[in-house]
Amino acid sequence: MRNLVTGGAGFLGSHLIDKLLNVSEEVICLDNYFTGRKTNIAKWLGNKNFELIRHDVINPIQLEVDRIWHLACPASPVHYQSNPIKTSKTSFLGTYNMLGLARRVNARILFASTSEVYGDPEIHPQPEEYKGSVNPIGIRSCYDEGKRIAESLCFDYQRMHQTEIRVARIFNTYGPRMIPNDGRVVSNFIVQALTNQPITIYGDGSQTRSFCYVDDLVNGLISLMNSSEIGPMNIGNPSEFTIKELAEIILKKINSNSKIIYLPLPQDDPLQRKPIIDKAKDKLDWFPKVNLEVGLENTINYFKKVL
């Protein structure tokens, strides 16, 4: 297979590229390096099955590929809120361009959607049938609504043009190659603990998240792409932790002198987030295997090297 991975130099994309190249697939990596880093895929430079193209998916591109893994879009609030119009354009125009490419070359396309399409959910945990509770004019809407319209585009292309789509709704993911200053809770807490800075919890720490290790997540994406399922499909870890519990686990693991401080909760920050993954278990025979303790060990060791 000739694979196109958009956002391939990013956190998720680079791990996906590792998996594909390790089984001798051909890979074209597309990235504009807004949040991606060339160091993430540097080891593949010069490999006969790997090609790197600097490109922004907002602009069309002509390529011959069999499969498209469309991951391109900043995923952390710090980055997607730094230029919200750019984020909206990436979600809409980027997905539009990739769907157009998929239609032209008759490629299967997997779109990396997000649990953020559920917004601040009124139903807990969240099944794929839940339509969400999203503020369309809030500071997170560029990302939340961007992913929602991108899903709409996918299904319209499937209905109108019989484009082969796969839609994955990705829940909180962590692991090596996260950016130290990307504002996500796992990387924030680890970096703060390693440098003995205060651990910043927004709100009272009772809000919950479900953390999926990156290897499990990538295996889920591959399972969905290789299946006959269209989705949308929740891909995430249903083990639920409060933000305060996460902070305490990381502090204990690092044996840090950092103290926890509490700051105001940002606008529209979800209070609960946990996937129902019955469909993934039943249809893909997929479920996460790496528990939080093991995943955090690997992630902490990575940040020790980076810092």
Known active-site residue 302: no
Answer whether 33's CB lies under 8 Å from 9's CB.
yes
Annotated catalytic residue, options 96, 143, 157, 213: 143
Active site residues: 143
